[in-house]
Amino acid sequence: MTESPTALLEARGLSKDYGDTRALDSLDLAIAPGEVYCLLGPNGAGKTTTINLFLGFVAPSAGRALVAGLDVSTHDRETKRLLAYIPEQVMLYRNLSGLENLEYFAALGGQGSLGRKRLTEILVEAGLERETVGRRVSAYSKGMRQKVGIAIAIAKEADALLLDEPTSGLDPKASNEFSALVERLRERGVAVLMATHDLFRAKDTGTRVGIMRYGRLVTELSTAEIGHADLERIYLEHMQADTQANGGSP
């Protein structure tokens, strides 16, 4: 069933329960092509659950996750063809090189025809030093693995990008390069959903931010309309308000 063709990523009343715990509560969200939506919130707010629902990694308890109008629950493969995903920690095959890992995941994602030369260029574009692409991943730092993850996403040429705290553990320079990369993808019309703790990066990279707390999207802001300080203030207000509402417990 195809719906809302204008939104590439869409959540409608999306909820997820783990036993008695509601991890995500009736999330409504629509991300258009060329938009970078940053989900902010503390641990356990439901950011990663949202991404997992879009990836079909978990089944929703209620509501629907749609990618290009296709329900993820019923169109698993079709929606995954449209998505690229970079987890918080990109884990790769340690005994293979960065290039071999990229070759594998790119081929799985449907880009098997990309030659080694092009794949090397993509790795360099993602920020990896050219001379390191042939080294075994076991010798890579976390940042280098993250760059391979970015390269996998670039190689896939996906319509939508799901990022789960992708700059966690990256040095400032790498984080900055990553933001620039996201910006380039946005300009190409890619819809980006990024879960992050980094308010600065969210303001800098995102076109919209959503603040989540206890599985609920408590507010949505346009980054064009607020400054860094405003975002920090609003975020903290929501955290404190929720803490008070919950009798002082975080």
Partner 1 sequence: MAARTILRNEWRLLMADRPLKIVLGLFVVLLGYALTNGVVWLRFQERTVQATQTGNAERIHAFGQELEAIENGAEPSSPFADPRSPLVLGGPSGSHTAVLEPGPLTALAVGQSDLLPYYYDVNVYTNESSFHQNGEVENPLNLMVGRFDLTFVAVYLLPLLVLALSFNVLSEEREQGTLALTLSQPVSARTVVAVKLAFRAFLVAGMVLAVSLLGALATGGFGSPGRLLLWSATIVTYALFWFVLAAWVNTLRRSSAWNATVLVGAWLVLVVVLPAALNAAASLLHPLPSRVEMITAQREASNDAVNRRSELLARYLEDHPEMAEGVVADEPGLGALSWAATDAVNRRLEEVTAEHDARRDDQIALVRRYRFLSPAILAQEALLDAAGTGDARFADFQFQVRAFAEQWREFFVPAILAGEEMSARVLPDLPRFRLKDEEPAEVARRATVPLAALGGLLVLVSTGAGIGLGRVRGAD
Residues contributing to the site for partner 1 (CB under 8 A): 52, 55-59, 76-78, 80-81, 83-85, 87, 89-96, 100, 104-105, 107-110, 112, 136, 149, 152, 162
Q: How far is the CB of 96 from partner 1 (least distance, A)?
A: 6
Where helices occur in 161-227 by DSSP H, the ranges are: 172-187, 199-205
Among residues 109 and 206, whose Cβ is nearest to partner 1? 109
Contact 58, 13 (CB under 8 A): no
The C-alpha torsion from 175 through 176 and 179 to 181, rounded to 10°, is -100
Of 142 and 238, the one with the shorter C-beta distance to partner 1 is 142
Min dist. Cβ of residue 144 to partner 1 (A): 15
CB closer to partner 1 out of 64 and 136: 136
Q: Tell me how far, at minimum, the Cβ of 101 lies from partner 1, in Å.
A: 9
- The set of residues, in sequence order, having a beta carbon less than 8 Å from that of 33 and lying 6+ positions away, is 8, 159, 189, 190, 191
Considering the complex, state which of residue 203 and residue 215 has its C-beta at the smaller distance from partner 1: 215
Q: Which amino acid is at 58?
A: V
Q: How far is the CB of 156 from partner 1 (least distance, A)?
A: 8
Identify which of residues 18 and 200 has a Cβ nearer to partner 1 in the complex. Answer: 18
Rg, C-alpha atoms of the chain: 18
Nearer residue to partner 1 within complex by CB, 97 or 179: 97
Residue 223 per-residue DSSP state: G
In the complex with partner 1, which residue's Cβ is closer, 91 or 229?
91
**CA neighbor of 120 nearest in space, from 92, 99, 94, 150:** 99
Q: Which of 37, 84, 9 is nearest to 202 (CA)?
A: 37
Minimum distance between the CB of residue 24 and partner 1, rounded to whole angstroms?
Answer: 13
User: What residues are paired with 39 via a beta bridge?
Assistant: 195, 210
Please state the closest distance from residue 183 (CB atom) to partner 1, in A.
22
User: What whole-number distance in Å separates Cα of residue 53 and Cα of residue 63?
Assistant: 11
Q: How far is the CB of 107 from partner 1 (least distance, A)?
A: 4
From 167, 103, 107, 153, select the one nearest 133 (Cα to Cα).
103
